[in-house]
Amino acid sequence: MKIVLVDTNWKKFLPVSYTRPVSHLRCGILKVYEKWEKLLNANSVAVSEEYLNQKFFEEVEGSVLVINSKVLPNKNLIEAIQGLADKEILTSEGTWLAIRSENGFDREKWKDAKPVVYSGDYSTLENWWDIYKQNGEEIQNDFVSITEGRKSQPLSVSNNLIGSSDRLFIEEGAYLEGCTLNTDFGCIYIGKNVEVMEGSIIRGGFSVLDESKIKLGTKVYGPTSIGPKCRIGGEIKNSVFQGYSNKSHDGYLGNSVIGEWVNLGADTNCSNLKNTFSKAKVWSYDEGKMIDSGETFLGCCIGDFSKTGISTMLNTASVVGVNANVFGSGFQKKIIRSFAWGEGETYALEKAWEVNRNIAQMNGEELSDADYLILQSINSSNLDFDL
């Protein structure tokens, strides 16, 4: 059996979805597609924008489960999906959740699919800020899924643990000394070969994945998730780093979603609360205008490969596109287009690609031709050049 995760609200996750389908976004410890693969014990492909399909989709035949990518799995939902017969579609209050097909992925064949009503609970990701809003529950769910029946590495006596050790899991090769960990407010998961340096204070829920480093004296308020090979420092609250990104120095970041290969310069600060204490307005790529987010606390969303200079100040509810270089005195504009170079200049694609490859190689990773073609599509599409 194969899983096909289909995007239905891709634009609402821009700019972090410029370079990936919604199902390849991290929420909790795992990315959405990883959750489905683990719980259904099957491999997946993703269907999104055409320029992304070249990397993330391949034709599938035979038995297929087609799943709405904005839906987060849980035990009851998994059981309902597994109970579907061929050409049955699981729905809930007008939203389609999943379709079963024994004849591959073909939208035309499902027009007459038999509806099956699902009356149980489930969660969805509707906008990019839902990634951090759902993060606490998803850390808990993923923690159980990943650690069930396994034994954690011991915590060194130099550390101070507040709360239950049952809610702490340390993978092989991780190094933690002289830290304070609090599991009273959520689970804490430390991935393989992670280093948490002395003086760090972490309140769960919290997860940090393989080979990341938490720098000296870092302060983390949960629920916060850090992807693989990140460098994290300063003060962070309720944020999600997709992976391979750096916030190595002092500065505040709260209620934010950070893409891959992002670098936040020393003393970069992001406001997550307006000085009027009112609901934040945020740019909607989907509607092409500022909208009321309904959120009082709303930080920033930064697309892949973007960077901020030293002492950069980001406004509440800022969005930064892909491969932008943000620098300059005072608060930056709330909307920064992809491939922006400071105020008014454009970052040439070939130069950006050269830098991107160098950064990846420094981290023992390689960017592919498919990655280049995705950036080329973003650069030429003018999706956000009118900001």
Coil, helix or strand at residue 110 = helix
136 and 112 in a common domain: no
Residue 226 domain flag: yes
Coil, helix or strand at residue 105 = coil
pLDDT exceeds 70 at position 384: no
Average pLDDT over residues 214-228: 98
Whole domain around residue 58: which residue ranges? 2-126
387 and 274 in a common domain: yes
pLDDT exceeds 80 at position 111: no
Domain boundary among 126, 148, 163: 126
Residue 1 has what pLDDT? 87
Greater model confidence, 110 or 115: 115
Residue 261 domain flag: no
238 and 140 in a common domain: yes
Domain boundary among 67, 96, 126: 126
Residue 256 domain flag: no
Smallest CA-to-CA distance from 324 within 22, 15, 20 is with: 15
Total count of domains within the chain = 3
Average pLDDT over residues 21-48: 97
116 and 155 in a common domain: no
CA distance 319 to 335: 5
Provide the percentage of residues in the chain whose pLDDT is more than 90.
93
CA distance 305 to 258: 10
Chain mean pLDDT for the chain: 95
Specify the pTM.
Answer: 0.95
pLDDT exceeds 80 at position 233: yes
Coil, helix or strand at residue 24 = helix
307 and 293 in a common domain: yes
pLDDT exceeds 80 at position 387: no
CA distance 15 to 24: 13
Residue 260 domain flag: no
Greater model confidence, 356 or 384: 356
138 and 114 in a common domain: no
Categorize the per-residue pLDDT at 313 as very low, low, confident or very high, splitting at 50, 70 and 90.
very high
CA distance 262 to 315: 18
387 and 300 in a common domain: yes
165 and 111 in a common domain: no
Categorize the per-residue pLDDT at 382 as very low, low, confident or very high, splitting at 50, 70 and 90.
low
pLDDT exceeds 70 at position 385: no
Residue 253 domain flag: no
pLDDT exceeds 80 at position 109: no
202 and 296 in a common domain: no
- β 307-308/263-264 pair status: parallel
88 and 136 in a common domain: no
Average pLDDT over residues 11-29: 98
Q: What is the CATH number of the domain that holds 79?
A: 3.90.550.10
Residue 148 domain flag: yes
Q: What is the CATH number of the domain that holds 233?
A: 2.160.10
Domain boundary among 79, 109, 126: 126
Average pLDDT over residues 226-255: 98
348 and 376 in a common domain: yes
Residue 107 has what pLDDT? 76
